[in-house]
Chains A and B, each alone.
Chain A
């Protein structure tokens, strides 16, 4: 049996950080990872590249949406014959995982080694979750179908905010274990040990092609000043669910970029395989294109970062 765990959570909540920690914890095992992103470009795949990890990347939609569900199913079947002992699936930020068990049931006969579905871990951003769950139904579904909920970024939350998030989660899914942390620092073996699938009937995912956010990709044609990049991110990030990826800067060379709301992080990238692509996931539809174009112009980045 291959132990299968699903990781859900909104864009920027900390799924990739969590997955990184998990991979560290199982360095002696052959681990499989399926990474799913909305955009055409898979950034998390680069962040997680590691020896001994069997990785599949599914881009351009949610694995629970009809548009790439077939590729997800094929990936699951292939992975079941790859000799891994555990499989982690990192769903895209707006994934509605309600149909996960139904999908597994549907392919049971075709698997090389059966999966033991251990359930889903959902990561929520303590600072923003309450605002977002009202406008994005997929986030509620993520909590409802999770065996464990990690309330991350507690250090950034205001007074009483963690408690309020915890209460909202209890209301949606009283059976889920709740873990409060920052930077996803937790004893994951313990969480995994106690994890179990929720006792809730599987249903069709609400992920449809319509409910998918618009994504835009920016490529750095030449290194840019770090300060200009920061100014650009500050201008664009408030209208984006998330900005992530890599950009070449004059000061640091290849730089990992992560922006959630007004929180922007730039780190020099030491690893391999990174292409200088920034993915912007819009929260304002196609208007993001104009905001990006305007911000590039204002920050002197036109022609340096290209859409």
Chain B
């Protein structure tokens, strides 16, 4: 499981399960209360956030940093920073000046924010490198070329394809250098993330972009590592040209019909990943929506060469419980399929549930509403914080664990009006929703309630 599951999939071997890669970029910061700009600039905060994502989301593969502006910044683009999003490029050094940057400008381990990123990568590798395949995400050469040149590049492709080819090759050298540094820092997979690839014709892709992308993937393979080609937007017509650049995997978002795309990637024996919708499902949907989405994906495709992941970088404010639900569905599809069936089928209202009279209990009642305390890591941690500290509160508190794969427990969860799991209620009040309290916080709250 875990790392090996990803590596086997990228080697196109048969696996017993489908791997799960949550693209928790700036969203990872949310797990520790850090804003996007903090997690993208501070190696300690990035490290902490990644460790939390690993703990909560039980990923088989974990991206370490999702910021397509990192290289552009090192090459002289000014960035506009945001609290809830990765930064955006504000200035394009080659706008109005059709030239190629000097090779001496290719980023090194000392450039821009790269030292902080490498530091976080090395620490994460040391701590969880055996558990999860670590993804080093680099800005794709075409998106980087666009950062440098601005929107003129689309016209250049028609009027001066030779120039764009040169610029692409330069950006390819940057990509190779970034890959080299990330592999040296312990990354297992290099993901070349190029959202703009979906915005051009397959003809232009083949003529101008393909040799550079192929070179990057060939480089990664020569290092004994794995590569993925991430694209966003409607890249349907690019799937085949992308396959021909020979990555080990391709990742698409909800704009691509993954079933049809997989028919193409299967012909090339390339893994495909995707494509839980980022906003409708992950950001604004419910846990059930996320579970259903994953189950539908799993049930619509052959599991060989398949990775389940969000369509792209998860929104900062993605509810944690939604990601947990998606993870749960990938990890225990049979159980979750049953949950979803129950959820959709309804009928829980008929099950008689007695809600405790919280105002007249002898002891404080801790109720742990979980998806599954064994399979869902976040649930496990929430249950464990109670179990591990129960000795210190057994005289004043009782606890009970409910599972969302037991009909009575589903009815109870619904009757309690709980939307997200895991949730810990104290005397009927949802106290911690998808957040695991520390021992001190828990004991303090239980003692406070007992004193009433």
Chain A interface residues toward B at CB < 8 A: 60-61, 66-68, 209-210, 212, 214, 285-290, 292-294, 296-297, 302-303, 306-307
Contact A210 B100 (CB under 8 A): yes
Contact A306 B222 (CB under 8 A): yes
How many contacting A-B pairs (Cβ < 8 A)?
61
CA distance A81 to B60 in the complex (A): 61
What are 24 sample pairs from A and B whose C-beta atoms fall under 8 A apart?
A: A60-B104, A61-B102, A67-B103, A67-B104, A68-B104, A210-B100, A285-B165, A286-B169, A286-B173, A286-B215, A287-B211, A287-B214, A289-B215, A289-B216, A289-B219, A290-B214, A290-B215, A293-B218, A294-B218, A297-B222, A302-B222, A306-B222, A306-B223, A307-B223
Determine the chain A residues whose CB is within 8 A of the CB of B173 once the complex forms. Answer: 214, 286
CA distance A261 to B272 in the complex (A): 41
| CB-nearest residue of chain B to A294 | B218
| Main secondary structure on B side of the interface with A | helix
Min C-beta distance of A62 to chain B, whole Å: 11
Contact A209 B223 (CB under 8 A): no
Determine the chain B residues whose CB is within 8 A of the CB of A209 once the complex forms. Answer: 99-104
B221 is an interface residue with CB less than 8 A from chain A? yes
Determine the chain A residues whose CB is within 8 A of the CB of B420 once the complex forms. Answer: none
Taken residue by residue from 390 to 421, chain B's Cβ proximity to chain A (1 for < 8 Å, 0 otherwise) reads as: 00000000000000000000000000000000
Min C-beta distance of A46 to chain B, whole Å: 22
Taken residue by residue from 202 to 231, chain B's Cβ proximity to chain A (1 for < 8 Å, 0 otherwise) reads as: 000000000110111011011110000000
CA distance A243 to B75 in the complex (A): 29
Give the top 6 A-B pairs by smallest Cβ distance, nearest first: A289-B215, A293-B218, A209-B102, A293-B222, A286-B169, A290-B218
Min C-beta distance of A268 to chain B, whole Å: 27
CA distance A11 to B215 in the complex (A): 24
Contact B223 A286 (CB under 8 A): no
Min C-beta distance of B98 to chain A, whole Å: 10
Determine the chain B residues whose CB is within 8 A of the CB of A287 once the complex forms. Answer: 211, 214-215
* Contact A66 B102, CB 8 Å, known A285-B211, A290-B211: yes
CA distance A80 to B426 in the complex (A): 82
Min C-beta distance of B194 to chain A, whole Å: 15
Min C-beta distance of A301 to chain B, whole Å: 10
B172 is an interface residue with CB less than 8 A from chain A? yes
| CB-nearest residue of chain B to A292 | B222
B176 is an interface residue with CB less than 8 A from chain A? yes
- Identify which of residues 175-217 in chain B touch chain A, using a CB-to-CB cut-off of 8 Å: 176, 211-212, 214-216
B338 is an interface residue with CB less than 8 A from chain A? no
| CB-nearest residue of chain B to A209 | B102
Contact B104 A214 (CB under 8 A): no
* Contact A210 B166, CB 8 Å, known A286-B212, A290-B211, A303-B224: yes
Q: A209-B102, A292-B222 are in contact. List 18 more A-B contacts (CB 8 A).
A: A60-B103, A61-B102, A61-B103, A61-B104, A66-B102, A67-B103, A209-B99, A212-B103, A285-B165, A285-B211, A286-B172, A289-B215, A290-B214, A294-B218, A297-B222, A302-B224, A306-B222, A307-B222
Q: How many residues of B contact A (CB 8 A)?
A: 23
| CB-nearest residue of chain B to A285 | B169
CA distance A73 to B258 in the complex (A): 58
* Contact A296 B222, CB 8 Å, known A286-B173, A287-B215, A290-B215: yes
Contact A293 B221 (CB under 8 A): yes
Min C-beta distance of A216 to chain B, whole Å: 9
CA distance A67 to B172 in the complex (A): 20
CA distance A303 to B223 in the complex (A): 7
* Contact A210 B99, CB 8 Å, known A290-B211, A293-B218: yes
CA distance A67 to B170 in the complex (A): 15
CA distance A196 to B211 in the complex (A): 46
| CB-nearest residue of chain A to B175 | A286
Min C-beta distance of A230 to chain B, whole Å: 19
| CB-nearest residue of chain B to A210 | B100
Min C-beta distance of B115 to chain A, whole Å: 20
Determine the chain B residues whose CB is within 8 A of the CB of A302 once the complex forms. Answer: 222, 224
Min C-beta distance of A215 to chain B, whole Å: 9
Determine the chain A residues whose CB is within 8 A of the CB of B176 once the complex forms. Answer: 289
CA distance A51 to B176 in the complex (A): 38
Determine the chain A residues whose CB is within 8 A of the CB of B211 once the complex forms. Answer: 285-287, 290
CA distance A214 to B169 in the complex (A): 9
Min C-beta distance of B41 to chain A, whole Å: 29
Contact A67 B102 (CB under 8 A): yes
| CB-nearest residue of chain A to B212 | A286
* Contact A289 B100, CB 8 Å, known A303-B224, A306-B223, A307-B223: no
Determine the chain B residues whose CB is within 8 A of the CB of A293 once the complex forms. Answer: 218-219, 221-222
CA distance A290 to B216 in the complex (A): 8
Determine the chain A residues whose CB is within 8 A of the CB of B223 once the complex forms. Answer: 306-307
Determine the chain A residues whose CB is within 8 A of the CB of B99 once the complex forms. Answer: 209-210
CA distance A66 to B99 in the complex (A): 13
Determine the chain A residues whose CB is within 8 A of the CB of B218 once the complex forms. Answer: 289-290, 293-294
Q: Determine which residue in A66, A209, A286, A293 has the highest number of CB atoms from chain B within 10 A of its CB, and name it.
A: A286
| CB-nearest residue of chain A to B220 | A293
Min C-beta distance of B263 to chain A, whole Å: 26
CA distance A297 to B99 in the complex (A): 35
CA distance A41 to B380 in the complex (A): 53
Determine the chain B residues whose CB is within 8 A of the CB of A288 once the complex forms. Answer: 215
Q: Determine which residue in A60, A289, A294, A306 has the highest number of CB atoms from chain B within 10 A of its CB, and name it.
A: A289
Contact A307 B219 (CB under 8 A): yes
| CB-nearest residue of chain A to B224 | A303
Min C-beta distance of A276 to chain B, whole Å: 17
Taken residue by residue from 103 to 134, chain B's Cβ proximity to chain A (1 for < 8 Å, 0 otherwise) reads as: 11000000000000000000000000000000
| CB-nearest residue of chain B to A296 | B222
| CB-nearest residue of chain A to B176 | A289
Min C-beta distance of A76 to chain B, whole Å: 19
Min C-beta distance of A113 to chain B, whole Å: 30
Min C-beta distance of A67 to chain B, whole Å: 4
Min C-beta distance of A229 to chain B, whole Å: 16
CA distance A64 to B166 in the complex (A): 21
Determine the chain B residues whose CB is within 8 A of the CB of A61 once the complex forms. Answer: 102-104
Min C-beta distance of B390 to chain A, whole Å: 52
Min C-beta distance of B212 to chain A, whole Å: 5
Determine the chain A residues whose CB is within 8 A of the CB of B224 once the complex forms. Answer: 302-303
